[in-house]
Structure 1
């Protein structure tokens, strides 16, 4: 839990602010998982802080939640092109992807259980970045990624907004 909590602090996920009666306070909890090696032995234990998104109120803590997902036909088309053209394929997984999205709404969350600030025990977390469990977390992550890719010269597909294309003198990258 300490490693996860420290990572959230390093990421600038929230600021501690005084509690106010007009704030809609979103709760949070720790989720624990055991990761196993292929042989069945325990690799490690993981803890993840998750917001109780069901405490969020529409129009107060979030407005939009839609986040595009790549269409299966787009995946099949790109794979067909790769096979036909002999392209190499790579895949990646972004660790803690949802924690990268910057929030545009004011969302207030209770301090994580077991990590109440000793100097400010009655303060709450004003979230600057999304965390797992928030209704708008996928949307915030998509917009952060989209902005980043467009800055580097990718273009957003008109047909499928989850497909990004980079073309540099005939070298094409689909993401």
Structure 2
């Protein structure tokens, strides 16, 4: 007995058509880019205010407490991560700043539990 191969089109099964939405950006409207370093960001009042608000929130929430390091502890640095948040219409919603620890130097059981 020979079996006949039935294709999708013979069963009226078709792949959905792909619809592409293209975003047109006007060349005279450039989107602001987030700076990569503190030195670049500190030149602009918007970023300075965002970093100040983040740092104040960390202090008000008692996120950490400063203690003197011991010789066996590995002190880690921190970095500002900056990004611009946009509304649906493309306007700027806010400038967002986060202070994050550079955790790739930490050792479990020594630097944290």
- Could you state the TM-score of these two structures normalised by the residue count of structure 2? 0.51
Bigger mean CA offset, 34-43 vs 15-24: 15-24
Post-superposition offset of 1:29: 0.5
After the TM superposition, which segments of 4 or more aligned residues of structure 1 sit over 6 Å from their partners?
none
Cα distance in 2 for partners of 1:35, 1:55 equals 30
Q: 1:55 to 1:32 in 2, by over 3 A?
A: same
Q: Which has the larger radius of gyration?
A: 2
Cα distance in 2 for partners of 1:17, 1:23 equals 11
User: How many residues were matched structurally?
Assistant: 63
Cα distance in 2 for partners of 1:60, 1:23 equals 7
CA contact (8 A) 2:73 2:110 kept: no
**In the alignment, does 2:112 pair up with 1:40?**
no
Cα distance in 1 for partners of 2:98, 2:55 equals 9
Q: Structure 2 matches for 1:1-175, cutoff 5 A?
A: 1-62=51-112, 105=113
Post-superposition offset of 1:19: 3.0
Post-superposition offset of 1:24: 1.2
Structure number with higher relative contact order (C-alpha < 8 Å, ≥ 6 residues apart): 1
Give 1 or 2: higher strand fraction. 1
Structure 1 residues without counterparts, runs of 5 or longer: 63-104, 106-175
For 1:138, the equivalent position in structure 2 comes to none
Structure 2 residues without counterparts, runs of 5 or longer: 1-50
